[in-house]
Amino acid sequence: MDIQETGGADGRIRRKKPEGGIAETNAAPEATVKAGSRRRTARPRLHRSDFKKLENYVLGSSAAIITNVSLIVGLGSGQTGKGPILGGLLTVALADNVSDSLGIHLYRESEGYGPRLSSLSTVLNFFSRLLVSLGFIAIVLVFPTHEAMIIAIVWSLALLTVISYLITKRNGKVSIAGIASHVLIAVVVIALSRGIGYLIAHYSP
C-alpha cells in the first residue's frame, strides 16, 4: 500500500496514509538545518560581580606600590631632588601604566577570558595603578625628600599588608606567613633601591 508524502505549512514533512491518518516525522527542512549551523555563540556579558573581583585590582595596584616606593627611595638616596623623582613617578603613572595594562590585557585574552572581560580587567587595573601612583606623587609634593622617603615606605608596606590580607581571606584562611612573605619581598626591593641610590650618589663620576 503506497504512502504519500506532503509538505505542511510549518515546513515539516508529513506522511499521509490511505486511511486518512497523518504521521509526522522529525525531519527538519534543509533551510532550517543551515540556519541552525550558522548560529553564533553568545559572548559572555558583564555582571556586577565582575567589578568586585579582587584580581581586577591587585595586579596593577601591587605593581604600582613596589615600583613607586622603589623609585622614591632610589632617587631620594641619590640626592637628585624632587624634580627627577616627580618625573619618574609621572612616567610610572602614565607610560609604564599603559605598558603594564597592555600586558594584563594580553594575558587575560590568552587565558580565554574573552574581549569584554579582558578589557574590564585592563581598565580597572589601569585606574587602580593610576590612583596608587597619584598617592605617592602627593607624598613627594607635600613633604621634604627625606620625610617623603620614610612616609612612602610606611605607606607602601601598609598597602601591601592590606592587599595580602584580602587575598588570603578570599582564599578561605588568613595566613600571617603569606602576608609576611609579601611584606618581606617589598622590604628587600626597597633595601636594594636604597643601596643602588647610595652607590650612584657617592661613586658615580
Q: How far, in Å, CA of 63 to CA of 70, rounded?
A: 11
Q: What pTM value is reported for the model?
A: 0.71
| Region of poorest pLDDT, from 27-31, 65-69, 76-80, 189-193 | 27-31
pLDDT score of 112: 78
Higher pLDDT, 11 or 183: 183
Segment 7-43, tens digit of pLDDT: 555 554 455 555 544 444 444 444 444 444 444 444 5
Instruction: Give the count of beta carbons closer than 10 Å to the beta carbon of residue 106.
Output: 12
Higher pLDDT, 60 or 179: 179
Give 112-162 as a DSSP string: T-HHHHHHHHHHHHHHHHHHHHHHHHHHHHHS-HHHHHHHHHHHHHHHHHH
Segment 151-164, tens digit of pLDDT: 999 999 999 999 98
